[in-house]
């Protein structure tokens, strides 16, 4: 899918270390390109109830949403040894949440650049729960599937996602 994708990298300013990455697989244009993974994995029966809400020409797939393992471990060790960080209540979960927000910001910016209004995703259930805690909601498309591990097929309308985030979490908006 890389030939029809755009990629985002989140890099720490202080160290230039890679914090995370996200890929947006763009919809196929005409007969060129591949169909998006989620519709192929879910099949037409699962998507039938949602197809009127998901415009094929402006729907992309969020994928390779990944946080660097070495950076997660580095922050966990700093938090446990740095009394200033502990005083501010910094936790590994907060670091992951902050990186996840940065990756979502990159995905939304890439979507806007390419006139994408909706996103499909196949996410780990734990990631969906964490994003929901940040006011970022994806709607489930069907049951959890086995696709590179347990993944929940889902989608979002970006306007609705941003509106909900604004209402639920103005502190991180």
Answer whether 11's CB lies under 8 Å from 18's CB.
yes
Q: Could you read off the pLDDT of 27-50 as tens digits, one per residue?
A: 988 777 899 999 999 877 888 888
pTM, entire model: 0.85
Closest among 61, 59, 65 to 22, alpha carbons compared: 65
Determine the pLDDT at residue 119.
Answer: 97
Q: C-alpha angle with apex 64: 117 to 124, nearest 5 degrees?
A: 90
Determine the pLDDT at residue 84.
Answer: 53
Place 15 in a pLDDT band, splitting at 50, 70 and 90. Answer: confident
Q: Could you read off the pLDDT of 102-129 as tens digits, one per residue?
A: 999 999 999 999 999 999 999 999 999 9
Per-residue pLDDT averaged across 10-17, rounded? 89
156-172: b (≥16 Cβ within 10 Å) or e? bbbeebeebbeebeeee
Q: Sign (positive/negative) of CA torsion 87, 93, 97, 103?
A: positive
Q: How far apart are the first and last CA of the chain?
A: 31
* 8-state DSSP, 93: H
Q: What percent of the chain has pLDDT over 70?
A: 87
Determine the pLDDT at residue 87.
Answer: 44
Closest among 137, 156, 136, 153 to 145, alpha carbons compared: 153
Judge whether residue 80 has pLDDT over 80: no
Q: Could you read off the pLDDT of 125-171 as tens digits, one per residue?
A: 999 999 999 999 999 998 999 999 999 999 999 999 999 999 999 98
Structure tokens at 105: 């910001």
Determine the pLDDT at residue 120.
Answer: 97
């Amino acid at each position: 899918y890389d030939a029809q994708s755009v990629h985002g990298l989140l890099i720490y300013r202080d160290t230039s270390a890679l914090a995370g990455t996200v890929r947006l697989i763009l919809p196929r244009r005409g007969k060129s390109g591949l169909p998006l993974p989620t519709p192929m994995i879910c099949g037409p029966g699962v998507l039938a109830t949602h197809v009127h809400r998901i415009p094929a020409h402006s729907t992309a797939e969020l994928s390779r949403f990944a946080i660097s393992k070495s950076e997660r471990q580095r922050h966990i060790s700093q938090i446990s040894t740095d009394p200033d960080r502990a005083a501010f209540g910094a936790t590994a979960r907060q670091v992951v949440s902050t990186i996840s927000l940065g990756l979502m910001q990159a995905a939304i910016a890439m979507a806007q650049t390419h006139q994408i209004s909706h996103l499909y995703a196949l996410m780990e259930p734990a990631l969906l729960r964490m994003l929901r805690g940040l006011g970022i909601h994806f709607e489930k498309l069907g049951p959890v599937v086995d696709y590179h591990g347990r993944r929940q097929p889902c989608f979002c309308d970006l306007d609705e996602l941003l509106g909900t985030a604004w209402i639920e979490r103005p502190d991180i908006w």
